[in-house]
């Protein structure tokens, strides 16, 4: 396959989506932009796009090998990935292993409490509404996803959790929580978008040091340095720009 990006279809906060000559395929281009609080806080972080591109490709390949159908096809260059074009299900799926972030805040609990089993949460994908949390009934009744799709996404998200937890565990990192997006193509539900430290909480085991976008959200240090360190832990080699 030699599909190159043509016209831009959508520009998000972290990526651009391009059409290709084949309507069934899109190119996702990872940007250096970092945003938080639904775009209120913004910065450009050198190497972020390229590092996220490589980490996401690696993790999507791992979960695909574990049997989770994905829309990811391959890396095209340092920032671009080829994907099956899907109709994104407007329900984001979050898996939590440890209390943190919005969950801690909403329930008045301290961050760091280990959950007895993973919790799956759903959020309606709407920038205008700030991605409000919903439940499966709301998703079905409002027509955002069918019961079958929700069951499928839940099962796959928990499977992804098992794979990612083991992966990060082997690198001395606790997987606290993460967000996934799924899409429809040819009657199937495929894991789409990205798996990156932008949409995951990753804490160094023992110290609890944040190795994810919370470093940016909470002004805990240099996000570029954090992502370069994470790259080193994922691949065992220092990050070098192409």
Q: Which residues bind ligand ATP (CB under 6 A)?
A: 10, 12-15, 17, 26, 28, 71, 83-86, 88, 125, 127, 181, 183, 192-193
Task: Provide the minimum distance between the beta carbon of 20 and ligand ATP in the complex, in angstroms, as a whole number.
Answer: 11
Min dist CB 12 to ligand ATP, Å, is: 2
Neighbours of 195 (CB within 10 A): 26
Least Å distance between CB 38 and ligand ATP?
A: 9
Residue with tokens 């159908």: 69
Find how far residue 207's CA is from the centre of its chain: 24
Q: Which residue is nearest to ligand ATP (CB)?
A: 12
| Minimum distance from residue 30 beta carbon to ligand ATP (Å) | 9
Distances (CA, A) of 126 to 89, 93, 132: 11, 13, 8
User: What is the helix (H) or strand (E) element at residue 166, kind and residue range?
Assistant: helix 147-169
DSSP 129: G
Helix, strand, coil abundance in the chain, percent, nearest 5: 30, 35, 35
Task: Pick the closer one to ligand ATP by CB: 174 or 197.
Answer: 197
Q: Name the minimum Å distance from CB 124 to ligand ATP.
A: 11
Nearest to ligand ATP of 177, 193 (CB atom): 193
In contact, 189 and 153? CB cutoff 8 Å: yes
Q: What is the largest CA-CA distance in the chain?
A: 51
The nearer residue to ligand ATP, 174 or 181, going by C-beta atoms, is 181
Do 64 and 70 form a contact (C-beta atoms < 8 A)? yes
């Amino acid at each position: 396959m030699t599909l190159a990006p043509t016209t831009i279809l959508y520009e998000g906060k972290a990526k651009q989506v391009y059409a290709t000559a084949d309507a069934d395929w899109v190119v996702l281009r990872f940007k250096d932009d970092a945003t938080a609080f639904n775009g209120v806080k913004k910065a450009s972080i050198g190497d972020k796009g390229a590092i996220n591109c490589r980490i996401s490709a690696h993790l999507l390949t791992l979960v695909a090998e574990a049997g989770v159908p994905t829309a990811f096809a391959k890396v095209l260059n340092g920032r671009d990935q080829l994907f099956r074009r899907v109709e994104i299900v407007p329900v984001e799926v979050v898996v939590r292993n440890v209390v943190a972030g919005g969950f801690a805040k909403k329930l008045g609990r301290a961050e760091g409490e280990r959950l007895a089993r993973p919790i799956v949460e759903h959020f309606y994908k709407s920038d205008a509404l700030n991605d409000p949390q919903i439940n499966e009934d709301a998703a079905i009744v409002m027509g955002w996803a069918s019961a079958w799709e929700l069951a499928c996404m839940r099962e796959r998200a928990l499977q992804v959790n098992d794979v990612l937890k083991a992966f990060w565990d082997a690198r001395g990192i606790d997987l606290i929580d993460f967000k996934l997006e799924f899409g429809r193509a040819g009657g199937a539900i495929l894991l789409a978008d990205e798996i990156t430290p932008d949409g995951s909480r990753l804490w160094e085991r023992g110290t609890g040091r944040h190795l994810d976008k919370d470093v940016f959200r909470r002004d805990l240090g240099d996000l570029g340095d954090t992502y370069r360190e994470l790259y080193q832990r994922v691949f065992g080699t220092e990050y070098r720009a192409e």
